[in-house]
Structure 1
Amino acid sequence: MTGGNSPIGYLKAYNTNLYLSSDPVKVHEALEEGIAAATMFTPEKMTEVSETQLRVAFDGDAVLFSDESEQIYKAHGLDKFFEHEKAHENKPLDHGPLKGFLEVLGKLQKKFYAKGQRMDCPIRTYLVTARSAASSGARALKTLRLWGLEIDEALFLAGAPKGPILEKIRPHIFFDDQMFHVEGAAEMGTVACHVPYGIAQRVPEGKGIKDKGIFSIK
């Protein structure tokens, strides 16, 4: 309780790993402070999700990774983007705003792996990206490996809609920097979060948003 004042100044003191809010302005403030943050959209009718496994799905560029490659695509087109990714395949991408959140999820997962429970781990992570596995996916995977991070499933859609894949995965929460992907996921009953980062950002109007919270994982 902050008496109407913004809670953003307290996030680092609380070792906050993820800040979710219905207020996009506060989300921007949190990201500027280096805190993983997103604007949460809760659909009116939510799809059924697993009761035994937490499933978290991430977009790649401008979410886990920087928007470096997205800038190339926007400025020079798809062919130049593919050329750039091929030429820099072995150079890791810079980190994006939610890299740290994936790291803390990974630390929790490793506690179960150490007990020989990898296949039964109650946390599962997904990379759901518009990148193509054949032409630009290698750099994303190599970046995660160089960071020492693992993702349970990587799904490369080559520009196809993400809705059908999300319907199959049924994640508890999905993060993307593109509002049309967030809106599409929410329409299908998925809790979707907009990460306003990089060149594609735009502040959502807040229609249909519910709930907010601060999460610290120990």
Structure 2
Amino acid sequence: MALDLSDTLVVGISATALFDLREADAIFQDAKRNDPKNALESYRQHMLESEDAPLADGTAMPLVKALLDLNQYCSPGGGEPLVEVVVMSRNSPETGIRVFNNIRQRQLAVSRHAFTGGESVVDYLKAYDVDLFLTTNVQDAQRVIDGHHCAAAVLKQPPNDSNHLPEGQLRIAFDGDAVIFDESSELVYKAEGLDSFLANEDRKQDVPMPAGPYATLLKKLSRLQDRLPFSVDYSPVRIAIVTARNAPAELRVIKTLRHWGVYVDEVFFLGGIDKAQVLKAFRPHIFFDDQDLHLERAAALVPSGRVPYSSGSALNQSPEGVSVEGETHDNDSEPGASAC
């Protein structure tokens, strides 16, 4: 009988999101420029020679640890896990041994993998029932968003210090418009300005917003919370929405979440206040936003990921929607680390 993961939160993660593989990627890219015929062999040789070498944590490592810790709350006697993490990599199985070794060295409870030897891993997301895909590869994330496979983000470089992140509790922060909710309200703001946006949201406060690319993930996180112990003082999962909205655009957010039957622990309506300082105080294991305007400062403080717009979105005309600093692009040939 096939494993039923319908009630399990499944996170697919690239090797470059889990570990810092920039050195290996630099070797591949340098060889590709100077000796393209032997670039793959140079990369392969480096990975074989360093199979037992430790890797530094990637941006998503704190999140993965916090997610896997939730399985301590599984019902006695087995049953499906609360959370499943799948490592998905363009490396070949042979060059991926270094990744396998580092997973074991850290005693991460990751048992499922997909190593595709240069092919995109996106085609296998459905097979693994992935709800969230985290990568450093821009093209892969874009394919996921355009195909409506699941939520996806392009991770920024690791923050300067992740030792301050809490243990014993998973914390996730989301932007609102074009992430949890669709982009229709943000388009009003872009096209007509702040006053029209505020008037539109106040007028429609009782009209639920359409779902955005992360709505399904948020709803599944909410169902996950229902299966976990909860008290006034503590919950193993804490969710925040950190949005540039302010009154009178705030009620539509809260009423939409109520309509969806979704509970979030904290909401911050900032109205122009820097998101980075709020995130520094909240200390999430990951923050998702659609604009580099907010991510540039946030990513230095907390693990962060950019949510791509769909390729046909009018928001791609905005300067905030096109910056991909710190992210990696696909290669035409077999991957170095940058191709996951």
TM-score (norm 1): 0.89
Gaps of 5+ in 1: 214-218
Partner SS for 2:299: helix
Q: Percent identity?
A: 40
Distance 1:186 1:193 in 2: 8
Letter in 2 for 1:196: P
Q: For the Cα contact (< 8 Å) 1:36–1:101, is it kept in 2? A: yes
Q: How far is 1:106 from its partner? A: 1.1
Letter in 1 for 2:253: A
Match of 1:26 in 2: 140
- In 2 relative to 1, CA 167–211 (structure 1 residues): closer, same or farther, beyond 3 Å? farther
Q: For the Cα contact (< 8 Å) 2:183–2:212, is it kept in 1? A: yes
Structure with greater contact order relative to length (CA < 8 Å, sep ≥ 6): 1
Q: How far is 1:100 from its partner? A: 1.4
Q: How far is 1:6 from its partner? A: 0.6
Task: Kindly indicate whether residue 157 of structure 2 is the aligned counterpart of residue 53 of structure 1.
Answer: no
Letter in 1 for 2:241: L
Match of 2:210 in 1: 94
Partner SS for 1:171: coil
Aligned pair partner of 1:38 in 148, 153, 157: 153
Letter in 2 for 1:53: Q
1:18-72 Cα shifts (integer Å, max 9, x gaps): 0011001100001112110000113252231001111000000000000111100
Q: For the Cα contact (< 8 Å) 1:196–1:203, is it kept in 2? A: no
1:158-200 Cα shifts (integer Å, max 9, x gaps): 121101101111111000001121111112x210100012515
Q: For the Cα contact (< 8 Å) 1:40–1:211, is it kept in 2? A: no
Distance 1:65 1:101 in 2: 12
- In 2 relative to 1, CA 88–22 (structure 1 residues): closer, same or farther, beyond 3 Å? same
Q: For the Cα contact (< 8 Å) 2:136–2:328, is it kept in 1? A: no
Letter in 2 for 1:31: I
More helix, by proportion: 2
Q: For the Cα contact (< 8 Å) 1:55–1:171, is it kept in 2? A: yes
Q: How far is 1:208 from its partner? A: 8.9
How many residue pairs align between the two structures? 209
Aligned-residue CA RMSD (Å)? 2.1
Of the two, which has the highest radius of gyration? Answer: 2
- In 2 relative to 1, CA 136–8 (structure 1 residues): closer, same or farther, beyond 3 Å? same
Match of 2:249 in 1: 136
Distance 1:3 1:203 in 2: 29
Task: Kindly indicate whether residue 190 of structure 2 is the aligned counterpart of residue 74 of structure 1.
Answer: yes
Aligned pair partner of 1:192 in 290, 301, 304: 304
Gaps of 5+ in 2: 1-114, 330-336
Partner SS for 2:172: strand
